[in-house]
Structure 1
């Protein structure tokens, strides 16, 4: 009961409260007069003055007691004139209708917030006091810095001259010709030249859309770089601060709008309108960077039985099988075509993931000798000439202590269930000897990642070579024996799906609708996020990219929105479209991750790729040392969410997107908002229109029915009163009303019959009170003058008559 009451109280509206108060007032208005008249009856004596009887009569007859006790004034037994009786009966009914109306009508009252006409708003910065705000370094202390790779005689160098930079880098060959040394005669200038700043911040102007340089590392520091002659440079640092995996909503944190529903972060230095008591809503265009992931089900599962250690913890499994769910026996034997990639037109993530899944299954089948490849020397046997598998057939595979089969795993290594990198290409696997007749090695599986990514580190930086990360996602296991889906019981059977996934990252502009109803960051909410729409193709943003011929390995280019003038600069490639797929490569043995930190301070060029590499290489692998449980290894809530999402390939990609969002939110911060850049304090051109929030009263017409009935009756009564006044010969009127009241005054009736020489039924009230108000009357079976004999009933009343008279008035 205690838990129900707060919930019910929380659902009460102002109208409900008003109705409850009205009901209480009605009860009190009924109870208090009834109780007081009850007391009044006890205080009255049989002998009182005529005025006392009159006053007491007015209260007693006006109370509910006559109706309850069915006394003469309430029940005539049909002897009263019909019209008078009906009119008198209508009085309590009208009172009841008034009471009902007073209770029911307020129940229909409500209130709702409304948006008032738009007006120009003034804004002020608000700081986030959450872990994100507390973990954000102060701005302005560490300027952007950049280190570019070099190249000498087609051999890479750690340091080279950056575009627009005046740094001088000299390469000196070693005497034996096997290597070279790098000298910096004038030191190394890591600052970003003004020319580069002007180009890649030209397309946003004074708006709320962030440019490339408005994206900064959330945590900043400095370090000494031995490759630069021990020069001290500013660098980005990384430590995970919090998680949004379970929020499933739009969030506002220091410097970012986080889409924890679909994945993605928007860059905004947060401000709210000022001077509005109820807050306001408004819209802003914001630069977003968001992950895109497509997964394809391999139609293979890893199935196992859970074995618990004697301390009750899940630490071992048994009977690990790679099971054919159609990935072998129902495989499409047509090799997927080579992809003709144009990364800015379409990243083709679905096709990349499909080809990765197909190749993963094909090499797995060859290793297990489920089928054959084409017999090239003899040209006699076609590929897939035989199929040694059926749906449901399981193939033993080795268990590995680092795999963590009871939670999610994501790895860039396809075919990782064989652990070929740490074993021979053939031999005993899971208790079964596989001959591996086609000599499949880990190299074949590693090539899948290169084919899926579509780039290698030696490829040039250009618009086509977009970043794509690929890997094999092993879903959270699902109970396969009908038991509890959350309980690892010893001997229970579990099954994990395997999906091939491909991910890219893109920049785009979205329209965000905000709501603020108070001060502080928590009341700042995001109501909606929608892609910005453009009426014409020519209205779409113009995206630019550095194009200096650098290789993808070690060089992450500047990019951003450009003005038409900047688009004509040399070594700048452009594309006009609603979004821009970021450039880079995930392929290679040393793909950089956020765990290693940033080598310079140019977050916009690095963070998106680093965050995705971190997801594939660190966060979701059993070997990762990620402090926040994003795999569902310790958090049952995360385990349950991933368990639901990872069973289907269409939703499995959302897992990677949300992981990337979690990582990126801790890595970077936006420094631009309505007030301009956080360090400049400049206000964007034009006005930001806000719609203040107002309030209005609402009413549910159903609760107005009693009031409508009451008004209708009131109209009828008023009409009758007018008719009686105007059309009944003047019988109705205030003078007549006064006379009828005086004629029915009980004290006046007594004195008129007991003291006819002093009282009449029509004399003015003032005169009556002076002449008769203090005369004492005893009321018992009949009325009499106080202290004299009682009046007797009339002895000459005709039989059957109900008329009584007062006779034989005593002599003085």
Structure 2
């Protein structure tokens, strides 16, 4: 729960500055004494008093010059006793180690902002000034509403009664027997009953987790419906605001926490803690709705050549072929099963996508006469009796300029590349295949129903989860050895083809926030992690409005419910970490007409019921070959988007993430969360309970790697103290302060001179207060040998004619 940001001066941290200062001190510590000692040597004369020699000796022998000039005290070689020599050598080593420690140890220091102890936080709303904030309608002006259709009094009513509604329908048969009309004596009540609101809001209580009614359309308006006497109804609307396709990070926008890394949106009306001078770090549990997509490689690719006109535009292709990479010639001829036992436990997206890929390839093979189906048109033949393909075989394809092979393609219509719609307008190239088994678009359209598993006629229940399916054609890559970022005329390119299946689910995640008091841009998401539960009994209880209606009557309400409502009539519950949303991929999507004007998002104001499904349908339809969209989801105009899709669509394992990120992009513009720490007016949400925050404060940090020299010094210091203790206790008492004093006096150069030159007046052991007045002022000349002041230097010649000198006044003691 902490974040460390070291403050720097330029490129230097506080620790570096401290280290530099320490290094300067060490240098001065060595250089200045060396200079002073150099000066001291110049000031010292050959004839000085004994005390002067003693004092000067301390400075000279303790200086670095003894090492640099390799004098007697440092160049004793093997003539000195080993223990004495080793001990003396250790002194400068320890001094050097101490200097290194003094320099290196401060380098690990850092000044940091870190999270402190937890305390209850007080929050306030913060406005988003980005495009998302500016494009969000004011809250509190539109209430949740819906219009339902369904069976009533045994008849199919285009304007049915929603569950719990007090709307009255009166069926009036036409005199001519041509059907009936519907009368609404009390008008049409679009509001949500209080009991329904209470049930599907009960599971969140006063928490930071949003309920179903905390999810609203980002743009809201009213609609006049002539079918209900020109009554006005609140409706959701949709218009794109911005894009997160290239963000690849967690971000906050008005009403949402956006996971642009993996895909998904979390619902939160953004509030920030107050009374924290440097900001704070905290965690909240938040309701997320997230997509999940699995793609399977069909092992078919499209290969073509770019055509670049004289203006440099890559607006057409030629020589388009469908290439068998094993999708035909190595196909498993056994029809794969698709069994979804429990859509809430496992939506079986892998099975759905694989079966869709298998059927797409099988029908394509029949159309191209690569193989045969059972008993048709030749009686007695088993399916796949012959195989007219091999790895690398090309099948020329016709194409339209609007197919968009130059970019990424995503289409919920399987087999669309065969152009079986009957229209030949704009078609060019390819070959007229015989289609001996009369494969039509109807067969390919059935793939979507099989893959999705849920159709409009199905009844609403927990197992009929929403699933959308389609073909993803990867962004093309160059295969002639040239750069995949250079579109040259005649260059050869290839795109893989994947079959994909997607679902959407609601879940609770823990979000870690950080805020540093500088606007909404400073409200950061540090981490998003799934909420963990110790046992299945601890998992949230999800409820579904189970009225027995068909899937195309209306999208049901769902949400977290309290256990007391688990047995309520028309409420079905499941206790899971995730709740796979219910629905069908057949209803319309946002802006399905491809225009760039205002898009009607819904005929009701109940975003939680349909925004996730509509967003996914939008992705599979708006990115279809030839489709347009205000945001460049295909990489048709944005080279950055095109390059990202190139890398991700090459492999089926990562291609599914493209759809998840596209869904996130659409959903971010579609909806907003209205629950925050302060509660929400429309849904009746009370303020959230206590949330603990960790205020950020200024602290000192340290990198322990820089403490290694100090650790070595501490160890050596301990060893030295241990040796000193052993010498004191176990060496016959030879070590001690008395002994130390005597050794110092024995090596005092002035005392040595007077003791050997004036043995009657000076000894090596006499107290300093006695030696100083009686011998300190004696003058001693130190030349080749030491002598009393004024005495001649004695010498004698040896047999070789050399002069030898002796120390005057010596006597054996």
Task: Give TM-score, length-normalised by structure 2.
Answer: 0.81
2:627 equivalent in structure 1: 623
Most deviating of 234-243 and 790-799: 790-799
Question: Once the two structures are superposed, what CA deviation does each residue of 1:119-143 show, in whole Å capped at 9, x if it has no partner?
Answer: 6643525637573763463764233
**Partner Cα separation in structure 1 for residue 309 and residue 71 of structure 2:** 88
**Partner Cα separation in structure 2 for residue 431 and residue 550 of structure 1:** 47
Residue 509 of structure 1 contacts residue 578 of structure 1 at CA under 8 Å; is this kept in 2? yes
Residue 711, structure 1, aligned to residue 711, structure 2 = no
Distance 1:761 1:453, change over 3 A: closer
1:632 equivalent in structure 2: 635
Distance 1:145 1:80, change over 3 A: closer
The SS at the match of 2:418 is coil
The SS at the match of 2:398 is coil
Question: Once the two structures are superposed, what CA deviation does each residue of 1:656-677 show, in whole Å capped at 9, x if it has no partner?
Answer: 1222122222322333355544
Distance 1:49 1:96, change over 3 A: same
Distance 1:187 1:19, change over 3 A: same
1:810 equivalent in structure 2: none
1:542 equivalent in structure 2: 541
Task: Measure how far apart 1:46 and its partner are.
Answer: 6.8
Distance 1:58 1:620, change over 3 A: farther
The SS at the match of 1:357 is helix
**Partner Cα separation in structure 2 for residue 771 and residue 223 of structure 1:** 118
Distance 1:755 1:372, change over 3 A: closer
Question: Once the two structures are superposed, what CA deviation does each residue of 1:54-106 show, in whole Å capped at 9, x if it has no partner?
Answer: 65443333211233223455556877788766655554344334334545666
**Partner Cα separation in structure 1 for residue 85 and residue 627 of structure 2:** 95
2:498 equivalent in structure 1: 499
**Partner Cα separation in structure 2 for residue 383 and residue 102 of structure 1:** 84
The SS at the match of 1:433 is coil
Which of 656, 662, 668 in structure 2 is aligned with 1:653? 656
Residue 22 of structure 2 contacts residue 102 of structure 2 at CA under 8 Å; is this kept in 1? yes
Task: Measure how far apart 1:460 and its partner are.
Answer: 4.0
Give unpaired runs (5+ residues) of structure 1.
1-5, 808-812
Task: Measure how far apart 1:605 and its partner are.
Answer: 0.8
Task: Measure how far apart 1:599 and its partner are.
Answer: 3.0
Question: Once the two structures are superposed, what CA deviation does each residue of 1:598-637 show, in whole Å capped at 9, x if it has no partner?
Answer: 333211112101110111111455422232x332334444
Task: Measure how far apart 1:212 and its partner are.
Answer: 0.8
Task: Measure how far apart 1:30 and its partner are.
Answer: 1.3
Most deviating of 691-700 and 136-145: 691-700
Question: Once the two structures are superposed, what CA deviation does each residue of 1:719-778 show, in whole Å capped at 9, x if it has no partner?
Answer: 436678x724xxx76567667666766677889999999999888877988899899988
Matches within 5 A, 1:287-326: 287-326=287-326
Distance 1:165 1:100, change over 3 A: same
1:610 equivalent in structure 2: 614
**Partner Cα separation in structure 1 for residue 653 and residue 50 of structure 2:** 94
Distance 1:264 1:784, change over 3 A: same
Question: Once the two structures are superposed, what CA deviation does each residue of 1:282-335 show, in whole Å capped at 9, x if it has no partner?
Answer: 665433322222333322221112222223332221210112223333334444
Matches within 5 A, 1:104-503: 121-125=120-124, 127=126, 129=128, 131=130, 134-135=133-134, 137=136, 140-150=139-149, 159-168=159-168, 186-222=186-222, 224-225=224-225, 227-270=227-270, 284-336=284-336, 343-344=343-344, 346-375=346-375, 379-421=379-421, 423=423, 430-503=429-502
2:595 equivalent in structure 1: none
**Partner Cα separation in structure 2 for residue 78 and residue 543 of structure 1:** 88
Distance 1:104 1:352, change over 3 A: closer
Distance 1:156 1:394, change over 3 A: farther
1:642 equivalent in structure 2: 645
1:530 equivalent in structure 2: 530
Give unpaired runs (5+ residues) of structure 2.
1-5, 593-597
Task: Measure how far apart 1:223 and its partner are.
Answer: 5.1
**Partner Cα separation in structure 1 for residue 338 and residue 68 of structure 2:** 96
**Partner Cα separation in structure 2 for residue 86 and residue 363 of structure 1:** 91
Residue 795 of structure 2 contacts residue 804 of structure 2 at CA under 8 Å; is this kept in 1? no
Residue 597, structure 1, aligned to residue 590, structure 2 = no
**Partner Cα separation in structure 2 for residue 130 and residue 57 of structure 1:** 77
Distance 1:569 1:744, change over 3 A: closer
RMSD (Å) for aligned C-alpha atoms: 4.8
**Partner Cα separation in structure 2 for residue 534 and residue 89 of structure 1:** 64
**Partner Cα separation in structure 2 for residue 391 and residue 566 of structure 1:** 59
Most deviating of 120-129 and 402-411: 120-129
**Partner Cα separation in structure 1 for residue 700 and residue 528 of structure 2:** 22
The SS at the match of 2:361 is helix
Residue 457 of structure 1 contacts residue 587 of structure 1 at CA under 8 Å; is this kept in 2? yes
Distance 1:782 1:531, change over 3 A: closer
**Partner Cα separation in structure 2 for residue 26 and residue 648 of structure 1:** 60
Task: Measure how far apart 1:358 and its partner are.
Answer: 3.0
The SS at the match of 2:236 is strand
Question: Once the two structures are superposed, what CA deviation does each residue of 1:563-607 show, in whole Å capped at 9, x if it has no partner?
Answer: 233334433333444433222222267787694333332111121
Residue 783 of structure 1 contacts residue 791 of structure 1 at CA under 8 Å; is this kept in 2? no
Residue 126 of structure 2 contacts residue 272 of structure 2 at CA under 8 Å; is this kept in 1? no
Most deviating of 46-55 and 368-377: 46-55
Task: Count residues in correspondence.
Answer: 790
Distance 1:480 1:634, change over 3 A: same
Residue 34, structure 1, aligned to residue 34, structure 2 = yes
Residue 252 of structure 1 contacts residue 526 of structure 1 at CA under 8 Å; is this kept in 2? no
Residue 282 of structure 2 contacts residue 694 of structure 2 at CA under 8 Å; is this kept in 1? yes
Distance 1:108 1:580, change over 3 A: closer
